[in-house]
Amino acid sequence: MLDNVDIGGLWLAFALSLTLAGAFLLGRRNGRVELTRAGGGERARGGGRNRPRLALSIALLIAGIGVLMFANADEIGFEARRLGLDVPGLALAAPAPAADASTGTSTATGASATSSQGAWLTIPRLGISVPIGTEQEAAMRRGAFLHAGSARPGESGNVVLAGHRRHDVFTLLHRVEQGDVVTVRWKGKTYRYRVAEKHRATPTDTQWIKRAGRDRLTMYTCIPRYLGNKRTVVVAYPISETPAP
């Protein structure tokens, strides 16, 4: 089973709640303006009491939009980088530091691995380099999970990696293209794969994680971002194996 549930839906629910609350307050008439006749003229009362509620509704709308942008920062940052945009003082989804192929060490704070135990996945197109782990819960908190029943890099069969759509892991997996090179660092060796296939699957479609068959690397994550009822599946095939220095 392609089991890879994310909590992105909570971000969407939060953003929608803020936005709907703001829209409700903005559309609601904050008390009727009372018209009283005074000296043959009309005087409006109660309009001043509308101002706090108007300010609150606008604040909620802005907060809802802000939360939605925060939840989609990776997508926004990717598009900004693709278009060559550079907004001073605003860093959206900057590329993760790439792991050193010779040492297996990333420049990210607290994220390092020696050449003897380093396990890293690097996808240059997406600007990510994340650790690979074999303990599902711990691995998927900050990187990619190597399925227990799959082949290990260098072994025959299917190497299966799963990752959440957050923390610059597989947020943009759907953006990879055929021909892209993916690098896996595993136990002192570097394995290079070229992306050949991209599919959309259901969580119960197990054909993609079977070990048997041609040597390959399979990566998958949840889609769409907030529902997660489908899976993006990317299949890449080996290019070469490079021994560590």
Sheet strands (E) in the chain: 34-38, 41-45, 119-123, 128-133, 144-146, 158-162, 181-186, 189-201, 216-223, 230-243
In the prediction, which pLDDT does 237 show?
A: 96
In the prediction, which pLDDT does 106 show?
A: 40
Q: Determine contact, residues 82/93, Cβ cutoff 8 Å.
A: no
pTM (2 decimals)? 0.62
In the prediction, which pLDDT does 49 show?
A: 62
What is the chain's mean pLDDT, rounded? 75
Q: Determine contact, residues 186/153, Cβ cutoff 8 Å.
A: yes
Q: Determine contact, residues 117/187, Cβ cutoff 8 Å.
A: yes
What angle is formed at CA 46 by the lines to CA 17 and CA 63, rounded to 5 degrees? 20
Q: At residue 146, does pLDDT exceed 90? A: yes
Q: Determine contact, residues 130/168, Cβ cutoff 8 Å.
A: yes
Tokens of 120: 């890293």
Alpha carbons 226 and 245: distance in angstroms, whole number: 43
Q: Determine contact, residues 223/230, Cβ cutoff 8 Å.
A: yes
Q: At residue 58, does pLDDT exceed 80? A: yes
Q: Determine contact, residues 33/47, Cβ cutoff 8 Å.
A: yes
Question: pLDDT (tens digit, 9 = 90+) per residue, 171-228?
Answer: 889 889 999 999 999 999 999 999 999 999 888 888 999 999 999 999 999 876 555 5
Categorize the per-residue pLDDT at 20 as very low, low, confident or very high, splitting at 50, 70 and 90. Answer: confident
Name which residue leads in pLDDT, 85 or 136.
136
In the prediction, which pLDDT does 216 show?
A: 96
Name which residue leads in pLDDT, 60 or 74.
60
In the prediction, which pLDDT does 22 show?
A: 82
Task: Mean pLDDT check: name the lowest of 76-85, 99-108, 148-157, 212-221.
Answer: 99-108
28-37 contacts: CB < 8 A, separation 24 or more?
Answer: 28/53, 30/54
DSSP character at residue 225? T
Domains and CATH numbers, the chain: 8-71 (no CATH), 119-243 (2.40.260.10)
Q: Determine contact, residues 243/189, Cβ cutoff 8 Å.
A: yes
Categorize the per-residue pLDDT at 97 as very low, low, confident or very high, splitting at 50, 70 and 90. Answer: very low
In the prediction, which pLDDT does 116 show?
A: 36
Average pLDDT over residues 69-78: 68
Q: At residue 159, does pLDDT exceed 80? A: yes
Amino acid, single-letter form, for residue 28: R
In the prediction, which pLDDT does 151 show?
A: 95
